[in-house]
Amino acid sequence: MSDQLILTCPSCGAKNRVQRAKVSGGARPTCGECGAALPVDGSPVTVTDSTFDTEVTGHATPVLVDLWAPWCGPCRMLAPTLETIAREMAGKLRIAKLNVDENPATADRLGVHGIPTMVLFKDGREVDRMVGAMPKLAIIRRLEGIA
């Protein structure tokens, strides 16, 4: 594991080099270009119909959107895997979660007919789609070279 993280600023898109030990010690780094707080916790972010464009298609780093529902068993099985990937790939990839029951407009706009579905966005466009619960290694392989 590298002793440095490269974190992309969610505000201006600048790449920032941050010492992993400082972040682990509780430091909250800010962007060297614009001063905005940098994402270091690697937790998935919840998106809605109203925040999708800002949080996903307008985001500077690639975003993997997990379309899920609370009643879906495979969705619940996939959640811990995506949380782990979010922590491991913080600064390179953002994980977003969209509840399809509460946000049907975005699910319809994306043409989602089954869940769990994961849609990868890069530079505001869909670049990959995965349907069904998948093991971590399979998801990571799909992300290689993109995120």
Which one, of 60, 53, 52, lies nearest residue 34 by Cα?
60
- pTM for the model stands at 0.76
Domains of the chain: total: 2
Is 92 found in the same domain as 24? Answer: no
- The secondary structure of 89-141 as a DSSP string is TTTT-EEEEEETTT-HHHHHHTT--SSSEEEEEETTEEEEEEES---HHHHHH
69 with 111, same domain: the answer is yes
Higher pLDDT, 25 or 62: 62
Per the annotation, the verdict on 34 as an active-site residue is: no
Instruction: Tell me how far apart the terminal alpha carbons of the chain are, to the nearest angstrom.
Output: 17
* Structure confidence by residue, pLDDT tens digits, 5-29: 777 776 787 888 888 777 766 777 8
- pLDDT for 146 equals 80
Q: What was the pLDDT predicted at 23? A: 72
Catalytic hit among 9, 12, 31, 72: 72
Q: CATH no. for residue 33?
A: 2.30.30.380
Q: Which of 142, 19, 120, 130 is nearest to 61 (CA)?
A: 120
Report whether pLDDT(147) > 70: no
Told to judge if 31 belongs to the known catalytic residues of this protein, a careful annotator would answer no
pLDDT at 27: 75
pLDDT digits 0-9 by tens, 119-130: 999 999 999 999
| pLDDT the model gives residue 1 | 45
Please give the residue range of the domain that contains residue 86.
41-143
Q: Same domain for 71 and 35?
A: no
Predicted confidence at residue 60, as pLDDT, reads 77
From the candidates 9, 12, 31, 75, give the one annotated as an active-site residue. Answer: 75
